[in-house]
Amino acid sequence: MTTLAEWLAAQPVDTGLAASVASMAAASVEIAAVLRAAPIQGQVGLVGRVNVQGEEQKQLDLISNDIVVKHLEQNEAVSILVSEELDEPLQMQIQGRYMVATDPLDGSSNLDVNVTVGTIFSVLEAAQGLLQPGSAQLAAGYVAYGPATNLVLSFGGPVVVFTLDSKGVYLLTDTEVQVPQASAEYAINTARERFWDAATRGYVAENVAGETGASGKRHNMRWVGSMVADVHRILMRGGIFLYPLDSETVSKGGRLRLLYEANPMAFLIEAAGGKATTGRQRLLEVMPAAIHQRVPVVLGSSEEVERVEAWYAKE
């Protein structure tokens, strides 16, 4: 089977860009090992600190961030790191060409209950500055730490999947992921219904109505509470993921972070033939105003995303 190193060497991209992806992959191999041993090592629970988003940091959030920093510091191609766990951007190699934005451990509220979590990353041209739209991404990927550890990535072309073997080597297991256009599976935190806008309420009500509703088909709902797990399912078998702006998150601009959650996932979904929007705007065209900015997210199978866009167009 083709290894990640062999596949990267064969890609028509700058070696520094490929090396930046390889550094994130190497960090994820170490994070995967730490996650497997965490309950034994007692590396679970909170550290009693909050990050810039006001969220309580888990031990493993910080450990994962340290691992990412360590691997990127060894890479001369990387000049700057933006991380969910760091209040400010971290300067790395002055002469480096690339900026990496990352959520070192997404879904960490699921850690202590052994549910799939992930690492999400995005690579951009550092010279263009910290605040670039998602369409400027040169590469994006995530690692899903689940029953298997999968690395999913794209340089804007095919979306490929690697699986970590028992020796700590990523092997190519899927060469071109395509998100099915149609789907009957949606993912949203329905406990937030009372805060939803009319468009979200209308779309979900149609799904709940099933065959008798406007979509004319029976829908199923899945919500893991780990964006990586929910998006991986959608990349593999279709579906739609929604974390809309609601009356409780409106002051913050949404729940999910633009640079290192929404943009990399939107880049992968679009590269795999799906769609990604805020409801009103193509997600990859949103111009960031701050590195930890939040944004509404609707992404997945194009037919379903278009149904949501149609609801927003009615407003």
The reply on whether position 109 binds ligand AFP by CB under 6 A is yes
Q: 153 CB contacts (<8 Å, ≥6 apart)?
A: 21, 139, 140, 141, 142, 159, 160, 162, 268
Distances (CA, A) of 288 to 120, 123, 265, 294: 18, 15, 16, 9
Tokens of 203: 């779309």
The reply on whether position 188 binds ligand AFP by CB under 6 A is no
The reply on whether position 189 binds ligand AFP by CB under 6 A is yes
Min separation Cβ 166 and ligand AFP, Å: 28
Q: For ligand AFP, which stretch binds (CB under 6 A), given 1-9, 62-70, 196-204, 225-233?
A: 225-233
Helices (H) and strands (E) in the chain, counts: 7, 17
Instruction: Label the pairing between strands 185-187 and 220-221.
Output: parallel
Name which position in 227, 240, 283, 298 contacts ligand AFP (CB under 6 A).
227
| Contact indicator for 109, 123 with CB cutoff of 8 Å | no
The reply on whether position 64 binds ligand AFP by CB under 6 A is no
Calpha distance 182→315 (Å, rounded): 24
- What would the x/- binding string for ligand AFP be over residues 68 to 107, using CB under 6 A? --------------------------------------xx
Residues numbered 249 to 278 that lie near ligand AFP (CB under 6 A) are: 256
The owner of tokens 């995967």 is 32
The reply on whether position 108 binds ligand AFP by CB under 6 A is yes
The owner of tokens 């009319």 is 198
The reply on whether position 225 binds ligand AFP by CB under 6 A is yes
The reply on whether position 140 binds ligand AFP by CB under 6 A is no
Name which position in 28, 226, 278, 302 contacts ligand AFP (CB under 6 A).
226
Q: Which is nearer to ligand AFP, 106 or 309 (CB)?
A: 106
Binding site for ligand AFP (CB under 6 A): 55, 106-109, 189, 225-227, 256
